[in-house]
């Protein structure tokens, strides 16, 4: 390889890194997002303990958050060991991995095709397109950028294997693929991508001569690599990859088991098969739209369920068929077919045929598939621009058009500024979900997450409004309605809590879920207690305890009612039971108060001493117990 070529490639790699870091610089001002960052890092003691032996064992054996991705867990654990819970470090590792992915993509395309400028433009589009902001700015999506690193390394190893035939390089392909799958199963389509890579740019699959194939012949000269790989039959190329297909199949089985264990897979009753297929066609077209016009990007696009208009579905299907027909018509340009099939094929695991979660589509799912679109578009424009220039200059040695490079630079910089702006929406939970509500419709998940963000800030009245908006858009499971009722009660909306608790009791009247019914009766009792409706509260707690005698909330609530009615012995019995279930400092303090009211001073002092011994913060526990006892104390004074 000429020294000048090598120097230019190094400069381009450095420019890619510098541009990525510059446009993504606002990421250092962003915090953790409660949605997934909490389960992955902020409230995950295993990850926070760092790279210990116990964390390593846990990483390889857990299905936490409905996934099996041990390399991702270890990556987060390493971050915690280095940065603790400082979000800047976690964000910057994501950014460095994204920059590395852009460089790996550039080197891969340059080595395989010998074309520097198209390779650089594709990589810059990948680095700076705002649809990839979600994968970088969301710490929990470390799995996306990390799995991509191994995906591209595996492609590098395969490219070298195809040129040299060294089996050791094929072993590296399998190893890197396996490690990448342990970061995120999104790269499960790698064997399919390698078959496309055989077709173009490696041209291991022999077909008729094509006008766009000269690039591969030039690559041997440009990069100093060996001659073109030997042509093989399709059956040989497929059989060659059987170990990789086996790895993909095994990881797919593990992924389905993990997602079912986490109850993340939606059933056909929730989303019908025809509705899923309709969403596939529409989502493919929506992804195409996001590539060419990346506006209204959001972390959650609500699934339409069974409500997609037939006209929209048929229009999307017609457009996909038209593009596919044009690609087949221009099959002499191999990069078009490869790019289009790359996009369609690598999206299959995430397109919603197996519906996981609440989203119809997601920006993070485009991280790998958009590379195919970038290749198809950039190589097409480059061929057109260079051929046009060659014809106008009447030369048989086409050069890259300066006008084409200038236009590409303008597009890339524009995308970079959009990325810079998009990052500001990921600053914190409230900003993210308010923005999401502004660019999506009927998004109950955004309302729900905004409610949680507001509740965390103590803005209870605003949070309840968002909780109710979410509940109006989505039929929550009864257990979540009970949780909402308890929250309503805690923020002083007792009447609303009564209505929600009664709705759960009506909905569960015909099933045998005693735990759910007991929880609903307890929530109802809490609301009645807040309204000083002691007879109704006592009846509710009695019903809760009849269904589930171990219901701690009902035991404590019934004790407070008994104290308000000066039934000290009943209160002592219930609180003694509650202490056995949960020997907490607050429960011991409540028991001490009941014992004092019963005239058992020595026993009360002993209970207080127990609370003092186990409490990490006795004054805080006394304050909590005092708030619970306030109902009984006010009643006694009356």
Sorted by where each begins, the domain ranges of the chain are 3-424, 429-637
Angle between helices 402-424 and 116-128 (to 10 degrees): 20
Q: List own/partner pairs for 466-471 with CB under 8 A and 24 or more apart.
A: 469/444, 470/444, 470/445, 471/444
590 within 8 A of 577, measured Cβ to Cβ: no
How many Cβ atoms from other residues are within 10 Å of residue 107's Cβ?
Answer: 20
**For residue range 281-310, what is the model confidence (pLDDT) as tens digits?**
999 999 999 999 999 999 999 888 777 899
- In angstroms, the Cα distances linking 360 to 131, 316, 332, 366, 433 are 16, 15, 35, 13, 17
Check whether the bond before 201 is cis (ω within 30° of 0): yes
Q: How many CA atoms are closer than 13 Å to the CA of 539, on its beta-carbon side?
A: 5
CATH of domain 429-637: 1.25.40.10
- Residues with pLDDT less than 70, the chain: 1, 207-228, 262-270, 355-357, 389-398, 632-638
Q: Rounded to an integer, what distance in angstroms lies between the CA atom of residue 585 and that of residue 609?
A: 10
Q: What is the DSSP string of 520-584?
A: HHHHHHHHHHHTT-HHHHHHHHHHHHHH-TT-HHHHHHHHHHHHHTT-HHHHHHHHHHHHHH---
pLDDT of res. 225: 45
| pLDDT for position 214 | 44
pLDDT score of 137:
97
Residue 220's pLDDT is: 40
pLDDT at 307: 75
CA dihedral 488, 492, 493, 499 (to 10 degrees): 70
Rounded distance, CA 342 to CA 205, Å? 17
pTM metric for this prediction: 0.82
pLDDT digits (tens, 9 = 90+) for 483-540: 778 777 777 788 888 988 898 888 887 777 788 889 899 999 988 988 888 889 999 9
């Amino acid at each position: 390889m000429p020294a000048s070529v090598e120097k230019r490639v190094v400069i381009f790699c450095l420019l890619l890194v510098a541009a990525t870091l510059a446009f993504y610089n606002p990421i250092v001002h962003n915090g953790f997002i409660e949605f997934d960052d909490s389960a992955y890092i902020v409230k995950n003691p295993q990850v926070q303990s760092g790279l210990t032996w116990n964390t390593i064992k846990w990483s390889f054996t857990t299905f936490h958050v409905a996934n099996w991705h041990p390399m991702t867990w270890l990556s987060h654990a390493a971050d915690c060991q280095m940065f603790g819970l400082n979000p800047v470090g976690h964000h910057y590792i994501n950014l460095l991995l994204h920059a590395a992915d852009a460089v790996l993509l550039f080197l891969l395309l340059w080595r395989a095709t010998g074309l520097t400028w198209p390779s650089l433009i594709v990589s810059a589009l990948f680095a700076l397109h705002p649809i990839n902001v979600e994968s970088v700015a969301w710490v929990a999506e470390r799995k996306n950028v990390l799995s991509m690193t191994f995906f591209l390394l595996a492609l590098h190893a395969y490219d070298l294997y195809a040129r040299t035939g060294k089996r050791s390089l094929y072993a590296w392909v399998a190893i890197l693929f396996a490690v990448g799958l342990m970061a995120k199963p999104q790269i499960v389509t790698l064997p399919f991508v390698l078959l496309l890579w055989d077709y173009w740019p490696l041209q291991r699959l022999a077909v008729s001569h094509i006008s766009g194939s000269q690039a591969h012949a030039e690559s041997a000269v440009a990069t100093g690599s060996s001659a073109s790989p030997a042509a093989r039959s399709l059956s040989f190329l497929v059989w060659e990859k059987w170990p990789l297909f086996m790895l993909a199949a095994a990881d797919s089985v593990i992924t389905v088991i993990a997602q079912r264990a986490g109850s993340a897979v939606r059933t056909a009753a929730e989303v019908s098969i025809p509705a899923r297929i309709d969403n596939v066609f529409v989502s493919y077209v929506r992804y195409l739209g996001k590539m060419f016009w990346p506006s209204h990007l959001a972390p959650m696009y609500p699934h339409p369920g069974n409500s997609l208009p037939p006209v929209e579905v048929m229009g999307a299907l017609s457009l996909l068929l038209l593009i596919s027909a044009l690609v087949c018509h221009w099959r002499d340009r191999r990069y078009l077919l490869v790019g289009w099939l790359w996009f369609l094929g690598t999206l299959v695991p995430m397109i919603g045929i197996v519906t996981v979660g609440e989203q119809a589509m997601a920006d993070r799912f485009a991280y790998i598939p958009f590379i195919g679109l970038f290749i198809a578009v950039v190589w097409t424009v480059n061929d057109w621009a260079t051929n046009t220039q060659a014809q106008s200059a009447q030369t048989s040695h086409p050069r890259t058009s300066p006008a084409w490079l200038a236009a590409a630079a303008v597009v890339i910089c524009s995308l970079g500024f959009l990325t810079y702006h998009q990052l500001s929406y990921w600053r914190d939970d409230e900003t993210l979900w308010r923005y999401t509500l502004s660019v999506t419709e009927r998004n109950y998940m955004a309302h729900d997450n905004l409610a949680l963000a507001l509740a965390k800030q103590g803005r209870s009245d605003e949070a309840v409004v968002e909780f109710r908006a979410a509940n109006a858009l989505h039929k929550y499971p009864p257990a979540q309605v009970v949780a909402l009722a308890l929250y309503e009660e805690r923020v002083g909306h007792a009447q609303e809590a009564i209505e929600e608790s009664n709705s759960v009791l009506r909905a569960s009247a015909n099933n045998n879920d005693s735990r759910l019914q007991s929880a609903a009766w307890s929530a109802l009792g809490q609301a009645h207690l807040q309204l000083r409706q002691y007879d109704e509260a006592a009846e509710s707690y009695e019903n809760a305890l009849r269904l589930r005698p171990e219901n701690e909330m009902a035991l404590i609530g019934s004790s407070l009612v008994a104290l308000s009615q000066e039934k000290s012995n009943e209160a002592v019995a219930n609180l003694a039971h509650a202490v056995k279930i949960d020997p907490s400092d607050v429960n011991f303090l409540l028991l001490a108060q009941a014992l004092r009211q019963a005239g058992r001073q020595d026993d009360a002092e002993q209970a207080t001493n127990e609370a003092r011994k186990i409490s990490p913060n006795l004054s805080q526990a006394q304050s909590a117990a005092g708030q619970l006892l306030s109902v009984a104390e006010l009643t006694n004074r009356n």
